[in-house]
Structure formats: structure tokens, C-alpha cells
Amino acid sequence: MVLLVGNYMNAGSRNAQTFGFNISFLCKLRDTKSISHSTTLLHFLAEKCEDSYPEIMRFPDELEHVESASKVSAEILKGSLTSMERHIQRLENDIENFPKTDDEQDKFVEKMSGFSKHAREQYEKLSTMHKNMQKLYESIGSYFAFDPHSVSVEDFFGELANFRMLFMEAVKENHKKREVEEKIKRAKLAKEKAEREKQERQQKKKQLIDMNKEGDETGVMDCLMEALQSGAAFRDRRKRTPRNGDQSPSSPASRWSGANYGMKSPVLSH
């Protein structure tokens, strides 16, 4: 996937149709950014793999041990085995050259012989494992087209561990970005819906007013019924519920009972 995208981007250049790349290039995918700097080549590859090639998404689990492998120094391991073999050989020589004694309390040869034999067996196992490790690393170098003698175990597995971490971070960041975009999209749709409903209510009210001005009683009744059924006539208006048999103390009727009957105020004589 990386090689395919790289060749596509390098089409027409001297690096077009490349057959391979250095393993250290993987971590540099994050440094290749888009024109808007909003995403990187690594984020693009992570999204493309997740959408079109889900089987590739298993590789972080398959490489879960590369971080531990990157902490192993082949040189230190080789030096430790060499030192171990040298000390075991020295112990074996001491046991072989230890002077014989008639002292029954002297158990040096008896005890150390058993220890030396066990130590030699453990060393041989470790030595065999080390040789197998070297052969496997050479085969890895052949597979990834690098010189295992010039690229250390720490460097190679360290690059893989860093790429694994960066890839998983890119996947998480893509998910977070997608969630934010979906949230913005939902908010935009909700706002557009609210604006549309508001315009529809205003349009219905305007139609009701226009019909009333024109004196079209049939149209007024139809529009009024529609407004009452949909609730548009009351949606933006505060509801007031008058109390039965109660009048506002500030109304003229409450101040003067004869105001509604055309009664004149009595003339007061002095």
C-alpha cells in the first residue's frame, strides 16, 4: 500500500516505479502533509486501509512484540554470552585441576561439578537460541532488503515500533475527526430544519393576514382552520387564560359600572 501510493505520487519523476523503500521511511509518512496541513499521508493511508482493506488493520496486533524486541541489544547479548562461556570454562578448569584431598568435609568438587554441568547445559541452550536469532534476523534483512550487519536489531525493531504507534494514533485521530464532522453536520441540519420550520410558520401567518385584508371569507376560514390545526397561530404567541367572572381592576368597566350602557354621570347640586 505504501509503495503503491509512493509510486503514484512520484509519477513522472526519477523515483517513479520504485521497487522498494527503506524501512525508516515509514515514520516519515507523518511528515508528508496536505496542502491545507489538515491531514498527513499517514492519516490518509490509515483511513484508506480501514475503509477498503480492513485485513491490513490487524498488523498492529501482529507487531505487538516489536517494542520489546527494540530494547534488546544484539551486541550486549553477544558479549554476555561470551562472558558466560568464559566463566564456565574457568570453573571447569578449576574443578579439573583442584587438588585431591582426604578431607570428607571438603565438598567443593562434588558441589561445583554439578553446578558446572548445569551451567554448561543452560549456556548451550542460550547459545543455540542466539544463533537462531541471528539467522532469523538475516532472513528478515533479506526479506526487507537491508543489510543486517549495518542495521542493528534495536534500530530495525525501533522503527517498526514507532511506526506501529504512529499508525494507531492516526487511526484514533481519524475517528475523532470523523466524530467532530458528524457532530457539526447534525448541528447544521438541525439549524436548517429549525429555520425552515420558522419560515413556514411565518409564511402561513402572512397568508392568513393577506387573505383577511382581501376580504375573502372562504379563504380566511380555510387558512384559519389550517393554522388552528397545525398550531401555527399560537406557536409564537404567549398564551393567556382569562379568569371567569373576573375583570381587571384597571379596566373602565371595573371603575364605572355605567360606562358600557351610555349612562350619564349624575349632576351634583351644590
Residue-wise pLDDT for 48-68, tens only, equals 999 988 898 999 999 999 999
Read off the pLDDT band of 26 (50, 70, 90): confident
Report the percentage of the chain scoring pLDDT > 70: 75
Asked whether the predicted pLDDT for residue 189 surpasses 90, the reply is yes
- Looking up cell 475517528 gives 175
CB 31 within 8 A of CB 43: no
| Every domain of the chain and the residues it spans | 1-65, 66-99+106-144
Report the percentage of the chain scoring pLDDT > 90: 40
Q: What is the pLDDT of residue 81?
A: 95
Read off the pLDDT band of 234 (50, 70, 90): low
CB 73 within 8 A of CB 154: yes
- Looking up cell 547445559 gives 121
**Taking the CB of residue 258, how many other CB atoms lie within 10 A of it?**
11
Q: What pTM was computed for the model?
A: 0.62
CB 88 within 8 A of CB 120: yes
Return the closest-CA partner of residue 25 out of 12, 15, 38: 15
Read off the pLDDT band of 223 (50, 70, 90): low
Instruction: List helix spans (H) across 63-107.
Output: 66-69, 74-97
Q: What is the pLDDT of residue 250?
A: 47
Angle between helices 217-230 and 153-214 (to 10 degrees): 150
Winning range, highest mean pLDDT, from 64-73, 78-87, 207-216, 252-261? 78-87
Q: What is the pLDDT of residue 15?
A: 67
Read off the pLDDT band of 257 (50, 70, 90): very low
Q: What is the pLDDT of residue 145?
A: 85
The C-alpha atoms of residue 13 and residue 17 are separated, in whole angstroms, by 9
C-alpha distance from residue 96 to each of 99, 103, 107, 108, 113 (Å): 9, 18, 14, 11, 9
The C-alpha atoms of residue 125 and residue 118 are separated, in whole angstroms, by 11
Q: What is the pLDDT of residue 262?
A: 42
Asked whether the predicted pLDDT for residue 263 surpasses 70, the reply is no
CA torsion, points 57, 59, 60, 62, in degrees to nearest 10?
140
Q: What is the pLDDT of residue 267?
A: 42
What Rg value do the Cα atoms of the chain yield, rounded? Answer: 45
- What tens digit of pLDDT does each residue of 112-163 get? 889 999 999 999 999 999 999 999 999 999 988 889 989 999 999 999 999 9
Query: Which segment of 5-9, 132-136, 164-168, 171-175 scores lowest on mean pLDDT?
Result: 5-9
The C-alpha atoms of residue 26 and residue 167 are separated, in whole angstroms, by 10
The C-alpha atoms of residue 99 and residue 8 are separated, in whole angstroms, by 77
